[in-house]
Amino acid sequence: MNPVLGRRQLMLGGIAGTAAVGLGLSACSDGAGGGADGGEVTHMQFFLSGDANQGGGFAHMAAKYQEETGVEVEIVDVANEDLTTKLKNAALANDLPALARVGSIDATWKDVTMDLRDILDTNDVKSELAAIDPDGKVLSLPSDITAVGMFLNKTLFDAAGATYPAVGEEPWTWDGFTETIRSVQAATGASYGMVMDRSAHRLKAFLYEFGSNTFELVDGAFETNENTKPALEYFYALNDDSFMPRSVWLSDGDPNGLFKSGDVVAYCSGSWQIADFAVNIADFEWVSVYMPKQPVRVTNYGNAASIVVFEGTGQEQAALDFVNWLFTPENYTELSETSGFLPAVNGITVTYADNAEAFELYNEEIEASDEVAARLKTQDLEGEIEGRTLEGDPLRDETVKYLNDEQDVDTTIANIIELLNASL
Amino acid sequence: MMTKLRSYGPATLLLWVLVLIYLFPVAWFILSSFKPGSELFSLPLSILPENWTFSGYITAWNRFNFAQYFFNTGLVAVVTTVLTVFVSAMTGYALAKYKAKWLSIFFICILATTMLPTEVIMPSTFVVIRDLGLYNQLAGIIVPSIITATGIFMFRQYFKTVPDELLEAARIDGVGEIRAFFSIMLPLAKPIAVTLAIFSFQWRWNDYIWPLLVLNDPNRYTLQLALRSIVGADNIDWSVLLSASVISLIPMVILFFVFQKQIMNADMNSGLKD
């Protein structure tokens, strides 16, 4: 019988295996390019998510920075859902990158962030979107702003002869909006009237518009006002598998794909879709329009992400220099124009190459928004700074149960409050 | 044509139908990678691209350092597979052929590890890896993956079926333990070794969670880590993701054709007696 492997193969395999493990063991694990030993920093890592999908603005600015200063800022694009995990583990292994663009402040590393106060003040960054602790330390700066907004399939609207409020006109109400959408649906045979991302961020905008304050921390406990229940009931009625497909909220169907199919009249999503639609929709015309109000005119807006600089990397000053450079008006404008960002710096005029009117509409919506959105955003940031953590997303998860007839609306509201209070 | 179809039995026809059913999603996936983003969701859905384009491939190729990711993933998969097969074979042999009470208890302990989901032991494994200095090293994803209870169990069950007389005869002839294992037992267990190698290679090639936790340096990323970075917060660049996924499959497809015979014969029960 022949052996599985000859002696020579065994030896080679053994040597290869040992060498590979040895190489891995002996390889340098320092992602830094100096600095840790007090030397000059030539390379640092910037962890973020979705830059390539959003025009590659950060990569573009990093290349420009290297040209100007010789310092390489390596953009490490991590899947959005995994960025939190990755940074947590990096913190546990004492191997944090020089800086990161994060969705929220995490308790694991919030105490090892640099104070970004000087950069905030020097460049007039929107302070209401920065995470500032009670001592005045600025833990993070908003990298850009996103806002919830409504997209329409203009081709279907035109085919049905329907109209929507143009820029400068009075926005529609949810009652008027749904009536119009249903008429377009009936006239064109579209499968669905509207899709909405399965997200608390989008649902909050909807609730605000009905006069709800969603769930607000008052005197040490979460509460909501009397407008939340009717708003949730209204949302339940919309999810009837005709106006809205139940599959999106109940089984994570893809609203983006459904809207792109051309078979849906409206899509409640946000400003980050503009760049995607510009490239990936060719079969029909789409348009950004005002969010409906009932009666409150508001959109849910805030920092799409925040920039933090980590302590203990030996590259703190180099990272601060880069962030400061990034937020200067000229560079920040270039970043916003490249990535299609709504600016998080005051006094910036961004000239968008494509779909300028859509971005303009979002800026107008933010400007006209009721103060409830900013108030609740501040509350969220305070929660992050205090290190409040939640299992899942109570608003979204409990609403899904309500839509699925697992519980009634009163139980839904009570459960959300209970889960939020448990995080205190 | 009809005559040809009639010459097939109903079972063959049924199998052909199954082949087509299985082939459909794969064919659609590959053909979709040649569609521009604006065609991917168009209604009515079309199998063939209206406008063939390589833009997704070009973007994917320019965006990702595929050579580096193939090398990292290949290195991890090959080294882990080789070590897994040897360690599992040796452990399985010891558990099958050496008599000691503690060995039985040890075997039960190994089996017990299969009752815990991997995610449960990940935090502890991470701390061990970190304290051993293996964080952000390829060795950090190789070492914890070497021992698999499944592999050990397969070899133990197989070696139990090999008559003890064979080993005793070899020992009488003056063959040492190491040589007996490598020259007699391991060649006998070739079907098990090949089966485990195939499974191990696939497991390691497709690993995602553990490399995500351990690897911090993009130059050490495996293919799966790199591909997943295309998934953004609220939208996905499908044309790039599809093209990159097709590219990432090519090495596995080549391997399949090279080792087609072994893979087709790879059966969890091969070499095992009922």
pLDDT in tens, B73-127: 999 999 999 999 999 999 999 999 888 888 889 889 888 888 888 888 888 999 9
* Mean pLDDT of the B178-204 span: 90
How does residue B274 score in pLDDT terms, banded at 50, 70 and 90? very low
Question: How many whole angstroms separate alpha carbon A165 and alpha carbon A152?
Answer: 12
Q: Between the CA of residue B50 and those of A21, A206, B42, B244, what are the distances in Å? A: 48, 39, 11, 21
How does residue A184 score in pLDDT terms, banded at 50, 70 and 90? very high
Subunit contact B228:A85, Cβ cutoff 8 A: no
Q: Nearest by CB to A24, from B42, B78, B139: name it.
A: B139
Q: Nearest by CB to B137, from A29, A53, A256: name it.
A: A29
Question: How many whole angstroms separate alpha carbon A348 and alpha carbon A366?
Answer: 15
Subunit contact B230:A82, Cβ cutoff 8 A: no
Subunit contact A93:B216, Cβ cutoff 8 A: yes
Q: Over 60: is that where the pLDDT of A10 sits?
A: no
Q: Over 80: is that where the pLDDT of A279 sits?
A: yes
Q: Over 70: is that where the pLDDT of A62 sits?
A: yes
Sign of the dihedral defined by the CA atoms of residues A414, A423, A401, A374, in that order: positive
Residue A94 half-sphere exposure, CB side, CA atoms within 13 Å? 8
Torsion angle (degrees, nearest 10) of CA A77, A79, A85, A86: -20
Across A192-196, B193-197, B249-253, the highest mean pLDDT is recorded for A192-196
Q: Over 90: is that where the pLDDT of A147 sits?
A: yes
The verdict on B233 touching A (C-beta cutoff 8 Å) is yes
Sign of the dihedral defined by the CA atoms of residues A370, A375, A378, A383, in that order: negative
Subunit contact B232:A50, Cβ cutoff 8 A: yes
Q: Which residue has the tokens 């089984």?
A: A251
Q: Over 70: is that where the pLDDT of A36 sits?
A: no
Chain A hits for B126, CB-CB cut-off 8 Å, are 89, 92
Across A368-372, B186-190, B251-255, the highest mean pLDDT is recorded for A368-372
How does residue B9 score in pLDDT terms, banded at 50, 70 and 90? confident
- The alpha carbon of residue B89 is apart from the nearest alpha carbon of chain A, in Å, by 12
Least confident of A74-78, A180-184, A265-269: A74-78
Subunit contact B130:A29, Cβ cutoff 8 A: no
Q: Over 80: is that where the pLDDT of A19 sits?
A: no
Residue B218 has a pLDDT of 86
* Mean pLDDT of the A337-366 span: 91
How does residue A22 score in pLDDT terms, banded at 50, 70 and 90? very low
The verdict on B231 touching A (C-beta cutoff 8 Å) is yes
Percent of chain A residues past pLDDT 90, beyond the cut: 71
How does residue A26 score in pLDDT terms, banded at 50, 70 and 90? very low
pLDDT in tens, A222-243: 999 999 999 999 999 999 999 9
Check if the beta carbon of residue B209 is closer than 8 Å to that of residue B119. yes
Q: Between the CA of residue B232 and those of A103, A199, B221, B227, what are the distances in Å? A: 12, 15, 18, 11
- The alpha carbon of residue B7 is apart from the nearest alpha carbon of chain A, in Å, by 42
The size of chain A, in residues, is 424
Q: Over 80: is that where the pLDDT of B158 sits?
A: yes
Nearest CA in chain B to A44: B217
The answer to pTM > 0.85 is no
DSSP B59-116: HHHHHS-HHHHHHHHHHHHHHHHHHHHHHHHHHHHHHHH---HHHHHHHHHHHHGGGS
Q: Angle formed by the axes of helices A409-422 and A394-403, to 10°?
A: 160
Q: Is B83 exposed, middle or buried (0-12, 13-18, 19+ CB in 10 A)?
A: buried
Q: What part of B 194-223 touches A (C-beta under 8 Å)?
A: 212-214, 216-218, 220
Chain A hits for B212, CB-CB cut-off 8 Å, are 82, 85-86
Helix (H) or strand (E) holding A180: helix A174-188
Residue B267 has a pLDDT of 53
Chain B hits for A156, CB-CB cut-off 8 Å, are none
Looking only at Cα atoms, what is the longest distance across chain B? 76
Q: What part of B 22-51 touches A (C-beta under 8 Å)?
A: 36-43
Sign of the dihedral defined by the CA atoms of residues A365, A370, A373, A375, in that order: positive
Check if the beta carbon of residue B129 is closer than 8 Å to that of residue B135. yes
Chain A hits for B189, CB-CB cut-off 8 Å, are 4
Chain B hits for A25, CB-CB cut-off 8 Å, are 133-134, 137, 139
Q: What part of B 101-160 touches A (C-beta under 8 Å)?
A: 126-127, 130, 133-140, 142-143
Q: Which of A82, A102, A153, A284 to mutate to test the interface with B (most CBs of B within 10 A)?
A: A82
Number of other residues whose CB lies within 10 A of the CB of residue B24: 11
Q: Nearest by CB to A90, from B137, B216, B232: name it.
A: B216
Subunit contact B41:A197, Cβ cutoff 8 A: no
Better-predicted residue by pLDDT, B6 or A309: A309
pLDDT in tens, A376-403: 998 988 888 888 878 789 999 999 999 9
Nearest CA in chain B to A54: B232
Q: Over 70: is that where the pLDDT of A14 sits?
A: no
The verdict on B187 touching A (C-beta cutoff 8 Å) is yes
Q: Over 90: is that where the pLDDT of A130 sits?
A: yes
Residue A371 has a pLDDT of 94
Q: Which amino acid is at A224?
A: T
Across A94-98, A414-418, B109-113, B150-154, the highest mean pLDDT is recorded for A414-418
How does residue B268 score in pLDDT terms, banded at 50, 70 and 90? very low
- The alpha carbon of residue A4 is apart from the nearest alpha carbon of chain B, in Å, by 5
Closest CA to A283 of A255, A254, A260, A257: A260
The verdict on B242 touching A (C-beta cutoff 8 Å) is no
Check if the beta carbon of residue B136 is closer than 8 Å to that of residue A93. yes
Q: Which of B51, B85, B137, B234 to mutate to test the interface with A (most CBs of A within 10 A)?
A: B234
How does residue A21 score in pLDDT terms, banded at 50, 70 and 90? very low
Residue B38 has a pLDDT of 85
Subunit contact B38:A279, Cβ cutoff 8 A: yes
Q: Nearest by CB to A80, from B36, B127, B233: name it.
A: B233
Subunit contact B229:A27, Cβ cutoff 8 A: no
Question: How many whole angstroms separate alpha carbon A39 and alpha carbon A60?
Answer: 26
Question: How many whole angstroms separate alpha carbon B47 and alpha carbon B25?
Answer: 10
Better-predicted residue by pLDDT, A342 or A39: A342
Q: Between the CA of residue B58 and those of A45, A204, B5, B154, B243, what are the distances in Å? A: 26, 39, 43, 44, 9
Q: Nearest by CB to B137, from A27, A52, A269: name it.
A: A27
Q: What part of B 6-25 touches A (C-beta under 8 Å)?
A: none
Chain A hits for B138, CB-CB cut-off 8 Å, are 20, 23-24, 27
Least confident of A93-107, A333-347, B9-23, B248-262: B248-262
* Mean pLDDT of the A91-98 span: 91
Check if the beta carbon of residue A291 is closer than 8 Å to that of residue A148. yes
Residue B78 has a pLDDT of 94
Helix (H) or strand (E) holding A80: helix A80-92
Percent of chain B residues past pLDDT 90, beyond the cut: 40
Better-predicted residue by pLDDT, B116 or A263: A263
**What is the count of residue pairs from A and B with beta carbons less than 8 Å apart?**
144
Chain B hits for A86, CB-CB cut-off 8 Å, are 212-213, 216
Q: Which of B194, B229, B236 to mutate to test the interface with A (most CBs of A within 10 A)?
A: B229
pLDDT in tens, B29-72: 999 999 998 888 888 888 899 889 999 999 888 888 889 999 99
* Mean pLDDT of the A42-49 span: 93
* Mean pLDDT of the A307-319 span: 95
Torsion angle (degrees, nearest 10) of CA A67, A72, A73, A79: 110
